[in-house]
Amino acid sequence: MFKKIPVIALEEHYWDHELAAQLQGAEGTRSADMLQRLYDLGDLRLREMDEAGIDIQVLSHGAPSAQKLDASIAVDLTRRVNDRLAEAVARHPTRFAGFAALPTANPEAAARELERCVKDLGFVGAMICGLTNGMFHDDERFWCIYERAEALGVPIYFHPSFPDADVSRVYYDKYAKDFPQVVRAAWGYTVETATQAVRLILSRVFEKHPGLNVILGHMGETLPYQLWRIDQALKRPGHDEMNFREHFTRNFYITTSGHFSTTALVCAMMEMSMDHIMFSVDYPFVAHKPAMDWLNTLQLSQTDMRKFLSGNARRVLNL
């Protein structure tokens, strides 16, 4: 059904050798097969894209990314990381696009790097992974990044990383040994990233920057399912006026990275409309096959399938 529609996948990761070396213990948590795929931006990746039927990957540095870097090294290092990604995209310009890594430990420099990446390197937005050294990104010190993103017309993709150490200890330590994924994809990532999104809306950054577009992966990190309750609760007496639903359905886009549930997709379609949902895999942390097998079961109209597989991405990323 979707054979003739181009497929763009938005949350597809790689690792840069120099940046990964700075992220303590990052490699030790990954298998040799995974590391091979993370470091490949050539034949292996392209072959697996061809086998799956994916036309374009929007590449981003996988977590943990530049948000874990100290301000003293972040600016120069992310510049080199982005330059190398731009070279990889330039080798296969019809197959790859790039999301910038940002040195958010220095927000003003991050805003400048975003502009350089979009204007000089042709990147289509930026990805922020987890918190910046323990800080959520609704803080006003980061708003210069959003001002620049709005002016450039590019989205910011908020991606999970390992939860804050204190949160991990209180919430997950009891079960983390037997169920390591409870800290990660099974729950910890979701809680932190959804919290990041809720805080962004509460900060009223979208009132100051109504043109700012934000992308969340993993079917919206549970927020489409929670939208009615959050919106209703924030309208109860004792709250400042806040239209959570309006901001979430206007400024947010979601992708299906690592979350291939038709039931969840139907919920997201009803709450957000198909205009705000984009296909993604989360390669190589998630394999292509379950994603593409799922696509083959989806009974969507041709119009919705076009939006979902590439139409929305072309519009939101100016591809």
Report DSSP letters for 131-192, one per residue.
-BTTB-TTSGGGHHHHHHHHHHT--EEEE--SPPHHHIIIIIHHHHTT-GGGTTTTTHHHHH
Taking the least distance from each CB to Mn ion, the nearer of 107 and 125 is 125
Taking the least distance from each CB to Mn ion, the nearer of 75 and 215 is 215
Taking the least distance from each CB to Mn ion, the nearer of 41 and 205 is 41
Residues of span 211-240 touching Mn ion by CB under 5 A: none
Minimum CB separation of residue 217 from Mn ion in Å reads 6
Residues of span 9-38 touching Mn ion by CB under 5 A: 11
Distances (CA, A) of 233 to 138, 196, 199, 268: 20, 18, 15, 20
Minimum CB separation of residue 184 from Mn ion in Å reads 11
Residues of span 134-193 touching Mn ion by CB under 5 A: none
Distances (CA, A) of 31 to 34, 65, 111: 5, 18, 34
The interface region with Mn ion, picked from 131-139, 223-231, 232-240, 276-284 by CB under 5 A, is: 276-284
Minimum CB separation of residue 236 from Mn ion in Å reads 35
Whole-number CA gyration radius for the chain: 19
Please state, in angstroms and rounded to a whole number, the distance separating the CA atoms of residues 258 and 281: 6
User: Which H or E run includes 33?
Assistant: helix 32-38
The interface region with Mn ion, picked from 7-15, 21-29, 69-77, 201-209 by CB under 5 A, is: 7-15
Q: Which of 16, 164, 231, 282 is catalytic?
A: 282
In degrees, rounded to 5, the angle at the alpha carbon of residue 249 between the alpha carbons of residues 161 and 303 is 100
The interface region with Mn ion, picked from 4-12, 199-207, 208-216, 240-248 by CB under 5 A, is: 4-12
Q: Which amino acid is at 90?
A: A
The interface region with Mn ion, picked from 129-137, 138-146, 172-180, 278-286 by CB under 5 A, is: 278-286
Q: Which amino acid is at 216?
A: L
Is 240 among the catalytic positions? no
Residue 282 near Mn ion by CB under 5 A: yes
Taking the least distance from each CB to Mn ion, the nearer of 74 and 129 is 129
Minimum CB separation of residue 241 from Mn ion in Å reads 35
With a CB cutoff of 8 Å and minimum separation 6, the contacts of 36 are 44
Minimum CB separation of residue 11 from Mn ion in Å reads 5
By Cβ distance, which residue is nearest to Mn ion? 282
Taking the least distance from each CB to Mn ion, the nearer of 11 and 138 is 11
Q: How many residues bind Mn ion (CB under 5 A)?
A: 2
Please state, in angstroms and rounded to a whole number, the distance separating the CA atoms of residues 43 and 80: 23
Cβ(260)–Cβ(24) below 8 Å: no
Rounded (to 5) percent helix, strand, coil in the chain:
55, 10, 35
Taking the least distance from each CB to Mn ion, the nearer of 16 and 282 is 282
Cβ(176)–Cβ(168) below 8 Å: yes
Catalytic (active-site) positions = 282
List interacting residues with Mn ion (CB under 5 A). Answer: 11, 282
